Amino acid sequence: MIEIKNLLFQPLTFHLAGGGRGLHLNPRERRTLEEDDISPEIDAAAKRGFVSLTPATPTVPEPETAREEPVETETENTSANGGKRRKRR
């Protein structure tokens, strides 16, 4: 996989290698492409500094760990003011 990034502040459109497909990049947008999709037009744009081509590393989502949150007890809620908030002035 190759990551392509539009380095310009204007949209770009390219033909992809293969049959009649195209790629539209908004300003500063990033996309990932297969290496077979890189056309000579994209290579020329990279040489001229319009886009950057970098190898994309596949990202594996990490499983979330359980978070421990404090549990309120009734004694905390019924403190000196009876669990009511004091009015700010």
Per-residue pLDDT tens digits of the chain, which is 89 residues long: 999 999 999 999 999 998 789 999 999 999 999 999 999 999 999 999 999 999 987 776 667 666 666 666 655 555 566 667 777 77
72 in any annotated domain: no
Q: What pLDDT is stored for residue 76 in this prediction?
A: 54
CA 8-9-11 angle, to 5 degrees, is 80
Residue 26 inside a domain? The answer is yes
**pLDDT value at position 28?**
96
Determine, yes or no, domain membership for 36: yes
Q: In whole angstroms, how far apart are CA 4 and each of 18, 37, 58, 69? A: 17, 11, 14, 41
List the domain range (segments joined by +) for residue 17. Answer: 2-55
Burial of 17 (0-12, 13-18, 19+ CB in 10 A): middle
pTM of the prediction? 0.63
Predicted local distance difference test score (pLDDT) of residue 72: 63
Say how many domains are in the chain: 1
Residue 88: the pLDDT is 78
